[in-house]
Structure 1
Amino acid sequence: MLNSELEHFIQEDLGPYDLSCILVPEREVEAIIFSKEECTLAGIDVAMSIFRYFGLQATTSHRDGDQIPAGETIFFLKGSSVSMLRAERLSLNFLGHLSGIATMTNKCVQIVREFSDARVACTRKTIPGMRSLEKQAVMAGGGDTHRFGLSDCIMLKDNHIKLMGFEAAIKEAKKRASFTQKIEVEVESMEDALLVAGLEVDIIMLDNMSPGEVLRTVQTLKKAGLKEHVVIEVSGNINIVNLEEYAKTGVDVISMGSLIHAARWIDVSMDFSV
């Protein structure tokens, strides 16, 4: 994290006059940060940046992606009592939020692995300003980041198609795309998937289709000899409850906004040694 980003967060948290921290005696203290529940860790580097900014000595044997039990110590800290208090909430918020995403992602990846090698990916449904960190947390959980932004690939969604139609939109995308950019097209029916596959795009997203519809579409593309030439992604209202059924359909990628927006924060805490 850049210092400019970090200072924005610190300014928001401390406010103009931080009396609550400066009223304690200024002395060197030790503390630990630990998890109150089993989880997949994420946010280690961010927390370390916060500790360094406040001049704290921080050590850890952990890294993003580690599976830890409840009660596990994540960081050992040493330094100013005032700085420790100022770093506390900010570091815990990042660790709790990002580890929650990593934990949710890891659970989903394990479900999918029982049935297929499909990638579990997140989406662009992220908190503005937090996308990079949230997607890194998905990676820590074993998931795929998908696009970081609109420039990463050309994705033609329903509103593109309403304005231009499939053939015109795909033709224009191929005309303008860099040789490094893939073209992905969103479809909502088996018929449209067959049409788009015949137009030689890189990725077809089956959007808001039931597991049964997805399975029939994948099977039909295989019979038509089109499946091997295109990546098939499924997205839309997929969650940890119905994930197993989508994992059985034979798609290549399962994209889930819920990896981030439905992830529960992990309970982490700081304890002073006094």
Structure 2
Amino acid sequence: MTTAPDPGYLQPPHHEVVDAVRRALAEDLAPLGDLTATLVPPVLGEARFVARTDGVLAGTACGTETWAQLDPAVEVDWALDDGARLRAGDVIGVVRGPFRSILTGERTALNFLGLLSGIATLTAAYVDAAAAGGDARVWDTRKTIPGLRSLSKAAVRAGGGRNHRGNLSDWMLIKDNHLGGIGITQAVATARDRWPGRTVHVECDSLEQCVEALEAGADAILLDNMSPEEARACVAAAQVRQGGGAGGGAARRTLLEVSGEVTLETIGEYAATGVDMISVGRMTKSAPTLDIGLDLV
């Protein structure tokens, strides 16, 4: 059973938000600050974040942090939380305070909101398409904008997706290039010996490799660029050898992941094969920005 996530689960680590916003403001304001804003009278103002198109919201923490660093006199009041489904015209939040400061932080806040909401929106599309075919979860990859990985992965969670490993230290993913000088069985055994508390994940591009990884005791197997028919055969092989799997059974079998050029049109078919996870790099590397504006009141 899937429960509704609490708001904290959908947010990136606070220190990552602080650092990302600090860097964004520095590249916008160095060395002399916002020259144009000095032309504006020092009065109070109010503006509203408004969704221009349908989508899923993410990145509110970055919006709040933008003005927290710029001017604590600015108040940001969000009407919606990350993960909310947006309709064009929805008011997402309101910003109140010194007009100059509102204008200075506008683009930085909108850049984060548009980028991260775009990731959440595309993720939700993949999650919905997968659900039409089966119970497989959709998760991301390490194909992220450098320096913004934890924010991007939080946006994936906001869109209903799950997170693959965050970095190379999380767990071992033994890919084809790693197998150039070592076989799957030996690689899994060595990984177990050197890092006994870590997940051992093996990339396979054939049923034969999948069977070897299953028998070697891999925790997870990535079925790389396989057709739905090939993925289904790997699921059957895992069930024969280990029992259990997606949909029931007493034993918990090796987690099976499909990866490689999965599209919105094909993800439902892959989900129907019985695999556990489907990874989609496009969600974090190619998502279009969601159109969100800041309208003065």
- Bin the TM-score by the shorter chain: over 0.9
Aligned partner (choices 197, 203, 216) of residue 199 of structure 1: 216
Give unmatched runs, 5+ long, in structure 1.
none
Q: Could you tell me how far apart the structure 2 residues matched to 1:25 and 1:98 are? A: 33
Q: Could you tell me how far apart the structure 2 residues matched to 1:214 and 1:4 are? A: 41
Q: Could you tell me how far apart the structure 1 residues matched to 2:253 and 2:294 are? A: 52
Aligned partner (choices 241, 246, 256) of residue 265 of structure 2: 241
Q: Could you tell me how far apart the structure 1 residues matched to 2:291 and 2:262 are? A: 25
Deviation at 1:225, TM superposition (A): 4.2
Question: Pairwise mapping of residues 54-133 of structure 1 onto structure 2 (< 5 A)?
Answer: 54=70, 55=72, 56-133=74-151
SS at match of 2:177: helix
- Which segment is superposed worse, 196-205 or 162-171? 162-171
Which residue of 1 is the match for residue 162 of structure 2? Answer: 144
- Which segment is superposed worse, 12-21 or 33-42? 12-21
Which residue of 1 is the match for residue 288 of structure 2? Answer: 264
Q: Could you tell me how far apart the structure 2 residues matched to 1:217 and 1:256 are? A: 19
Aligned partner (choices 43, 59, 72) of residue 59 of structure 2: 43
SS at match of 1:77: strand
Give unmatched runs, 5+ long, in structure 2.
1-13, 246-251
Contact 2:49 2:294 in 1 (8 A): yes
Q: Could you tell me how far apart the structure 2 residues matched to 1:259 and 1:109 are? A: 11
Which residue of 2 is the match for residue 251 of structure 1? Answer: 275
Tell me the C-alpha RMSD between the 2 structures.
Answer: 1.5
Q: Could you tell me how far apart the structure 1 residues matched to 2:95 and 2:261 are? A: 42
Which residue of 2 is the match for residue 21 of structure 1? Answer: 37
Q: Could you tell me how far apart the structure 1 residues matched to 2:173 and 2:237 are? A: 23
Deviation at 1:165, TM superposition (A): 1.6
Report the TM-score when normalising by structure 2. 0.87
Q: Could you tell me how far apart the structure 2 residues matched to 1:124 and 1:27 are? A: 45
Which residue of 2 is the match for residue 183 of structure 1? Answer: 200
Q: Could you tell me how far apart the structure 2 residues matched to 1:224 and 1:136 are? A: 36
Deviation at 1:85, TM superposition (A): 1.0
Aligned length: 272
SS at match of 2:239: helix
Q: Could you tell me how far apart the structure 2 residues matched to 1:13 and 1:241 are? A: 40
Which residue of 2 is the match for residue 9 of structure 1? Answer: 24
Deviation at 1:216, TM superposition (A): 2.1
SS at match of 1:90: helix
Q: Could you tell me how far apart the structure 2 residues matched to 1:16 and 1:263 are? A: 32
Deviation at 1:65, TM superposition (A): 0.5
SS at match of 1:26: coil
- Which segment is superposed worse, 233-242 or 82-91? 233-242
Q: Could you tell me how far apart the structure 2 residues matched to 1:245 and 1:238 are? A: 10
CA deviations 1:152-177 (Å, max 9, x no partner) are 11111111111212122111101011
C-alpha change, 1:36 and 1:199, in structure 2 (3 Å) is same
C-alpha change, 1:256 and 1:4, in structure 2 (3 Å) is closer
SS at match of 1:254: strand
- Which segment is superposed worse, 107-116 or 28-37? 107-116
CA deviations 1:221-248 (Å, max 9, x no partner) are 3334466521111111112222122111
Report the TM-score when normalising by structure 1. 0.94
Q: Which amino acid aligns with 1:28?
A: L
